[in-house]
Amino acid sequence: MPEKTIKNVYLNNYSELRNRLRAHLGSYHQADDILHDTWIQLQQAKPVTVTRPLAYLFRMAKNISISEFRRQAIFDVDTEALLHFTDDALGPEEHSFVADEIKQLNRALDNLPSRRREILVAHRLYGVSKQELAERFGVSTRTIEKELKSALEFAVSSKATT
């Protein structure tokens, strides 16, 4: 089936796809995000021939949701758990200082745009290379470097204001 027809099926059956995805994901908000990503992939994809375009689109959206879930699981940082981690080498004063630093870090991370936060966490905590991040986000390595610089500048400015 030509690409234009698959896009037409997407557009003509958006409500049905949205409802099916909501049932699968649990919220319309998530369904809308995934359908947006599906549309972007359709725009970038080469024409394919499919016999059941609606099933193809739903499978495509489900696969995107699975990839998104896996990506989020990698980037989620539980800084709250770090607050309860104890180090026997730290005294009460040092522990309090570290706890305050972690709270400031958590606030700074929460205030970053989501893409910038994901890039920073992946690169600094998980050691994901700039090249791999560029491929994941579909941008240049220069854009990744700018995002990292902006995130670090924001963290420094957040620290200075507290």
Q: What pLDDT shows up at residue 35?
A: 93
* Buried b or exposed e, range 94-127, using 16+ CB within 10 angstroms: eeeebeeebeebbebbeebeeebbbbbbbbeeee
Query: How far is it, in rounded angstroms, from Cα 17 to Cα 32?
Result: 10
pLDDT tens digits along 101-113: 667 666 767 777 8
Whether 114 shows a pLDDT value over 60: the answer reads yes
pLDDT tens digits along 23-46: 887 788 888 989 999 999 898 888
Q: What pLDDT shows up at residue 71?
A: 65
Q: What tokens appear for 46 in the block?
A: 């080469």
CA count, 13 A, side-chain hemisphere, 49: 0
Whether 3 shows a pLDDT value over 90: the answer reads no
Are the beta carbons of 21 and 65 closer than 8 angstroms? yes
- Angle between helical axes of 114-124 and 53-75 (0-180°, round to 10): 60
Helix count and strand count (H, E) for the chain: 9, 0
Q: What pLDDT shows up at residue 1?
A: 46
Q: What pLDDT shows up at residue 12?
A: 94
Nearest to 56 by CA among 46, 70, 42, 69: 42
- Fold type of domain 79-161: Arc Repressor Mutant, subunit A (1.10.10)
Spans of all domains in the chain: 3-69, 79-161
Q: What pLDDT shows up at residue 53?
A: 92
pLDDT tens digits along 138-148: 889 999 999 88
pLDDT tens digits along 46-88: 888 889 999 999 999 998 887 777 666 555 555 555 555 555 5
Q: What pLDDT shows up at residue 58?
A: 92
